[in-house]
């Protein structure tokens, strides 16, 4: 962020206005409806949605950071993060609107209800009956049967449908499992239904959906590509700006701890950080998906070739996906960052290889402890975001490797000295030691895919088990220096006590969970539950 940028009172007033709007959930099903070779027209409409929805979420982040508890909001690093979100809000709200020609409007409305799409393009107000119809249409999976990118097993609308909680006629209802402040809850309960619906209808994204169907194999006019590129460029810049958010926010908590002369994070701050990072996951997911879809959208030249060789059939767009992805998605089962047929075993092998490499580099090992991959069946696949899964597995495996090495090294050296008293402890090479294996067991159930990571790393005392979920709690004696330089940023998860808490949030974002059971003096089992049915709601406040 430029040092000359400042949050003005006028901008802050606009941010607080947007912070009163309701967020609009985006389902996993909507995200994959674009297909592996998305239509530029659908990307165009989605870009308009993104430019209206993201400012609401960014404004809420600014407001939350301003109201963060116990003086955390006054820490320099917290203010830095708040200003990043405010600047991103400003850039999106000041992005030039696209000029819609009549011919473009005709293309975009050719496969849709004209009135609803015209409202979308012109920003006109719609009555509540029309809004509910649009929402009902977005939750109806029956129109996806011809889309090759959709796994029908997950056509229950992915991460947003929870039928016993959501009611279309009452948009103020929230997921009761979501973390909300007492002030927010009191405010919501005291607000009349009329004013709530009025505020909801004023939200820029009310009644709109992320995915909108558009005709296939059409050569779209230049303004579509120009607008898509301008949004893509803006999101890429914003994504890079916020790469250092985790580290910078961690620095803010450290500043708070030093100021208050405390070792552990207060429960209020712990709850705030859970909400803050969960919200960040949603924003990053939305930005990352839209950037990836833009990279995969069909070019005009490719559309002409596809139409000539394959006709106008829906099948052609998926058959020729490889060239359209620009090197990003070279598989038919990828839609943006989502894999519709994610092979859990393959992801686990990648995580194992990465964790072992980091371990060997850190401890100077030729070969790290063995990690055994055990699967109940050969091929276990489901719809998921591979980047999230490999992150969770990498963090837990890294913990198991470190625990195994540090717990068994003195024991194994003592055993070798006992067998050969002439040996000195400092002369024994760590590469001469044989550590017990770590087991990664993958099982597929009706509701969940469960991954158990089992080690013999000495376990955790029962009194310390609750602490492992608190931020900045770590057993590392000397943590590395936090570096939030955005130009050369690497997320400093190791040694900061962020691995498990953040991984649990990633699991919970898609309706799963991360649990831990430990035997002090022996080892630890970590259970990663992945929601196979994708039936949970996106955790929006």
3 state SS for 55-90: HHHHHHHHHHHHCCCCCHHHCHHHHHHHHHHHHHHH
pTM of the prediction? 0.76
pLDDT above 90 covers a percentage of the chain that reads 51
Q: Reply yes or no on whether 102 is catalytic.
A: no
The catalytically annotated residue of 52, 395, 456, 538 is: 395
Q: Reply yes or no on whether 529 is catalytic.
A: no
| Per-residue pLDDT of the chain in tens (541 residues, 90 and over written 9) | 445 789 999 999 999 999 999 998 887 878 888 988 888 999 999 999 999 999 999 999 999 999 999 999 999 999 999 999 999 999 999 999 998 888 778 777 765 544 344 444 444 334 434 433 433 333 333 333 333 232 222 222 222 222 223 333 333 333 333 333 334 334 444 444 455 555 555 788 888 889 988 877 778 888 899 999 999 999 999 999 999 999 899 999 999 999 999 888 888 999 999 999 999 999 999 999 999 999 987 655 555 554 444 444 443 333 333 333 333 334 578 899 999 899 999 999 999 999 999 999 999 999 999 999 999 888 899 999 999 999 999 999 999 999 999 999 999 999 999 999 999 998 999 999 999 999 999 999 988 999 999 999 999 999 999 889 988 876 655 555 555 554 444 433 355 678 899 999 999 998 899 999 999 999 999 999 998 866 555 677 6
The catalytically annotated residue of 147, 294, 399, 531 is: 399
* pLDDT at residue 478, as a whole number: 54
**The tokens 């803050």 sit on which residue?**
276
Q: Reply yes or no on whether 399 is catalytic.
A: yes
3 state SS for 443-461: EECCCEEEEEEECCCCCCC
Distances (CA, A) of 527 to 344, 448, 516, 524: 15, 11, 6, 10
| Listed residue (347, 312, 309, 291) closest to 34, CA to CA | 291
Residues 492 and 358 sit within 8 Å (Cβ to Cβ): no
| Listed residue (374, 430, 399, 414) closest to 523, CA to CA | 399
The catalytically annotated residue of 22, 82, 290, 398 is: 398
The catalytically annotated residue of 208, 391, 408, 529 is: 391
CA angle 375, 391, 394 (to 5 degrees): 60
Domains of the chain: 9-333 (1.20.140.20), 338-531 (3.30.565.10)
* pLDDT at residue 68, as a whole number: 95
Q: Reply yes or no on whether 391 is catalytic.
A: yes
3 state SS for 479-539: CCCCCCCHHHCCCCCCCCCCHHHHHHHHHHHCCCEEEEEEECCCEEEEEEEEECCCCCCCC
CA angle 91, 283, 541 (to 5 degrees): 115
Encoded tokens for 473: 């709690």
Instruction: Classify the phi-psi angles of 326: left when phi > 0, otherwise alpha if psi is within -120 to 50, otherwise beta.
Output: left
């Amino acid at each position: 962020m430029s040092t000359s940028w400042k949050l003005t009172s006028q901008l802050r007033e606009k941010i607080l206005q947007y912070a009163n709007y309701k967020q609009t959930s985006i389902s996993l099903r909507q995200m994959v409806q674009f297909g592996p070779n998305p239509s530029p027209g659908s990307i165009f409409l989605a870009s308009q949605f993104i430019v209206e929805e993201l400012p609401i979420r960014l404004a809420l982040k600014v407001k939350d950071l301003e109201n963060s508890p116990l003086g955390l909001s006054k820490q320099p690093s917290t203010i830095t993060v708040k200003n990043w979100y405010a600047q991103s809000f400003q850039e999106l709200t000041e992005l030039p609107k696209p000029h819609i020609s009549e011919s473009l409007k005709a293309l975009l409305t050719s496969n849709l209800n004209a009135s609803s799409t015209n409202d979308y393009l012109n920003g006109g107000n719609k009555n509540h009956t029309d809004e509910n119809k649009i929402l009902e249409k977005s939750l109806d999976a029956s129109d996806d049967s011809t889309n090759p990118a959709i796994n029908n097993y997950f056509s229950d609308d992915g991460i947003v449908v929870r039928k016993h909680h959501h009611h279309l006629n009452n948009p103020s209802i929230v997921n009761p499992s979501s973390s909300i402040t007492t002030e927010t809850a009191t405010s919501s309960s005291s607000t009349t239904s009329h004013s709530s619906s009025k505020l909801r209808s004023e939200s820029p994204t009310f009644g709109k959906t992320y995915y909108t169907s558009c005709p296939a194999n059409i050569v779209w006019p230049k303004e579509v590509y120009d607008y898509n590129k301008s949004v893509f460029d803006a999101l890429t810049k914003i994504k890079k700006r916020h790469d250092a958010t985790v580290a910078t926010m961690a620095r803010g908590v450290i500043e708070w701890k030093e100021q208050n002369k405390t070792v552990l994070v207060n429960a209020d701050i712990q709850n705030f950080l859970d909400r803050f990072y969960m919200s960040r996951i949603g924003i990053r997911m939305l930005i990352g998906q839209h950037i990836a879809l833009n990279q995969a959208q069909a070019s005009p030249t490719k559309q002409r070739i596809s139409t000539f060789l394959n006709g106008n059939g829906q099948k052609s767009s998926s058959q020729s996906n490889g060239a359209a992805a620009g090197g990003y998605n070279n598989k038919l089962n990828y839609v943006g960052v989502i894999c519709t047929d994610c092979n859990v075993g393959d992801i686990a092998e990648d995580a194992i290889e990465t964790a072992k490499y980091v371990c060997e580099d850190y401890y100077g090992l030729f070969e790290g402890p063995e990690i055994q991959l055990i699967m109940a069946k050969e091929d276990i696949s489901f719809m998921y975001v591979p980047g999230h899964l490999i992150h969770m597995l990498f963090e837990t495996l890294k913990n198991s490797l470190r625990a195994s090495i540090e717990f068994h090294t003195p024991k194994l050296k003592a055993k070798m000295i006992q067998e050969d008293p002439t040996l000195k402890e400092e002369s024994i090479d760590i590469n001469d030691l044989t550590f017990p294996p770590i087991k990664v067991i993958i099982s597929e159930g009706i509701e969940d895919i469960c991954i158990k990571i089992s080690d013999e790393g000495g376990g955790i005392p029962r009194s310390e088990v609750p602490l492992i979920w608190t931020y900045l709690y770590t057993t590392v004696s000397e943590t590395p220096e936090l570096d939030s330089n955005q130009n050369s940023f690497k997320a400093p998860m190791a040694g900061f006590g962020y691995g498990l808490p953040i991984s649990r949030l990633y699991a919970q974002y898609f309706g799963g969970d991360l649990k831990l059971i430990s035997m002090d003096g022996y080892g630890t089992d970590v259970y990663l539950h992945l929601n196979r049915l994708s039936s949970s709601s996106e955790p929006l406040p």
